[in-house]
Amino acid sequence: MKVLVFLMSALMTLTIPAVAQVDAQTNPRITPVNIKWTSHSSDGGVNVHLYMYWSYNCPHCHVAMDFLKTLPAKYPWIKLHFREVSKNKKNLAAYFQMADALGEEGGAVPAFFYCGYMYAGYTGNDTTGQWLLEEMKACRQNPV
């Protein structure tokens, strides 16, 4: 509850400019300028970057992180970026900026950003975890 109150108060006090670009010819998804959704590996393959915003006090965040940390061993093209928001104001500001740039509202954790999309919440490894994996596989097939 304290984290939610903190996040909501931060949302009301922060004024973060939305910086976005749209390339409707190649991809209709909005992409924040400084975010790398995909990249090319040294062997020419496509890497998919997943950004997860989390809090120390969020039990679902820890379950999600434990699951996600297992994926690169089997899927080395998945590049994880974990950003803690309850103690790191820069990460909190970046979270709201990314959400705003995508036309979403930030505030809930865990929050996942990938391939120009945002999703908040985590019900479990067999549901949300598997769904996120399938989303990243689809993104790899159709890179941003």
Q: What is the DSSP string of 66-110?
A: HHHHHHHHH-TTEEEEEEE-SS-HHHHHHHHHHHHHTT-----SS
pLDDT of residue 144: 79
Omega before 59 within 30 of 0, i.e. cis: no
Task: Walk me through the domains of the chain, giving residue ranges and CATH numbers.
Answer: 2-141 (3.40.30.10)
- φ, ψ at 49 (rounded to 5°): -100, 130
pLDDT digits (tens, 9 = 90+) for 21-58: 333 333 344 444 478 899 998 888 999 999 999 999 99
7-11, 58-62, 63-67, 104-108: the lowest-pLDDT one: 7-11
pLDDT digits (tens, 9 = 90+) for 84-117: 999 999 999 999 999 999 999 999 999 999 999 9
How many Å apart are CA 88 and CA 17, to the nearest integer? 19
Model's pTM, two decimal places?
A: 0.77
